[in-house]
Amino acid sequence: MLEKDREVPVHVAVLIAELFDEAELLVPYYRLLEAGHEAVLVGARVEEYRGKHGYPKWAEQAAADVDPAGFDGAVVPGGFSPEYLRRDPHIVALVQHLVAAGRPVAAICHGPWLLVTAGVLQGRRVTSYPSLRPEIEYAGATWVDEQVVVDGPLITSRTPADLPAFLQALMRALEP
């Protein structure tokens, strides 16, 4: 059966905030849509956000208005957006709910900043952009320099160059 022919599509929150990394947001977003999944851009508010290089994209739903139980997973792009995402308690709660439910949360580059704030890294093995290593270790995780790391529901990668491996791991995690 083709992924797009599934009876019930997978519903994935792609988190968006100001200064997102365009590749790390758009490539997973369109890959999810291509696979027949429902990818929803979720931000602190329904408004236009601009990427690091000025590309505009609208959030389709506000985090305060979504039911975390309605999502099968989430993608946390990098750039500077995780610094804004982690300030919103509804976005933090969404990530906490998904991890507690064992649903995949895929964070790339600076995306694990949000995982630190959500308090979901204790005892985990993760990767990220190297400058986040101290915060990740202070949060109780083991940081490794690998293309992609899967530890329970968490999928992490380092940079846009890791997107192929990151997306393969995400798509495997979303399989029924």
Active centre residues (catalytic): 110
Listing DSSP states for 29-53 in one string gives HHHHHHTT-EEEEEESSSSEEE-TT
Q: Is 74 exposed, middle or buried (0-12, 13-18, 19+ CB in 10 A)?
A: buried
CB atoms within 10 A of CB 62: 16
d(CA 43, CA 120): 20
In whole angstroms, give the CA distance from residue 71 to residue 166: 19
Angle between helices 22-34 and 163-173 (to 10 degrees): 40
Element (H, E) at 26: helix 22-34
